[in-house]
Amino acid sequence: MDIPHQCQFCNRQANSAFHDLSTEGLAEISQLKTCVSFRKGQVIMHEGARPQGVYCIHNGKVKLYTLGTEGKEQIIRFVTSGDLIGYRSILSEEPISASATALEDTHACYIPKSSFFKVIQDNPKFSLNLLKLSCHELGEAGKMITSLAQKNVKERLAEILLILNTTFGEDEDGYIDINLTREEIANMVGTATESVIRLISELRKEGYIRSKGKRIALEDRVSLRQMAAIYE
């Protein structure tokens, strides 16, 4: 996988917080960034650490999670092309609140802290984009809190499946294009692995989804949305 050395030629830019950075700003980042790769399963950032820079994901899929009691993972969200990792910690001047692990081979650009701050200072628009981004994520987190607190496991599972479908899209056979173990799904929904398994099979029997091994495809989005009580 080749990542352009010049950010201005990177097609991921359009989806990223960098999308309306000046040419000078992009050139500046280009000079200071480094390209890095992570293998499937490799830890990119460790909860509690103090990062010295941010990663901009070029391609690949990454999970962000905190470790709860007894070391159980709670997946907070996913990160993919164009997304940033580590900016929250750097900006709030706090240790990293969530670990990041690659779900598949991932390529990214590493931008050192100092350069990141320089770009923020020199580009009010970029700074505003980051602000917009973090505020958006804050809203998403609020929704997740309400779901966890008020919905039952089946409703939350339906919701997560819909979210996964929008985040990762579908492959040619209509399956959600992400490879997660049942345990990882459980760690998102906030339940036991066995419960997820039982409910997935229930949803299958009821005709809302179909599945083949790990792969899951949504069959009846409308009903799933209704079940998850998403009225948007």
Partner DNA sequence: CGATTAATTGATACTTCTCAAATCCTGTGG
Partner DNA sequence: CCACAGGATTTGAGAAGTATCAATTAATCG
Binding residues vs a second copy (CB under 8 A):
66, 68-69, 72, 74, 76, 87-89, 91-94, 97-98, 120-121, 124, 127-128, 130-132, 134-139, 141-151, 155, 189-190, 229
Q: How far apart are CA 111 and CA 35, in angstroms?
A: 9
Select the span of 52-60, 86-94, 140-148, 188-196 touching DNA (CB under 7 A): 188-196
CB 62 within 8 A of CB 101: yes
Handedness of CA 201, 169, 191, 225 (dihedral sign): negative
- Per partner kind, with CB cut-offs from 5 to 8 A, the member of a second copy, DNA, none near residue 137 is a second copy
Q: How far apart are CA 155 and CA 92, in angstroms?
A: 33
- Per partner kind, with CB cut-offs from 5 to 8 A, the member of a second copy, DNA, none near residue 145 is a second copy
Q: At residue 103, what is the residue type?
A: L
Task: Identify which of residues 5 and 132 has a Cβ nearer to a second copy in the complex.
Answer: 132
Select the span of 89-97, 164-172, 194-202, 223-231 touching DNA (CB under 7 A): 194-202
User: Residue 1 CA to chain centroid, in angstroms?
Assistant: 21
CB 121 within 8 A of CB 22: no
- Per partner kind, with CB cut-offs from 5 to 8 A, the member of DNA, a second copy, none near residue 213 is DNA
Query: Is residue 210 within the footprint of DNA (CB under 7 A)?
Result: no
User: Residue 93 CA to chain centroid, in angstroms?
Assistant: 21
Query: Is residue 152 within the footprint of DNA (CB under 7 A)?
Result: yes
Query: Is residue 195 within the footprint of DNA (CB under 7 A)?
Result: yes
Q: How many helices (H) and strands (E) does the chain have?
A: 8, 10
Token pair listed for 132: 């917009």
- Please give the residue ranges that form the binding site for DNA (CB under 7 A): 152-154, 181-183, 190-195, 197-198, 200-201, 211, 213-214
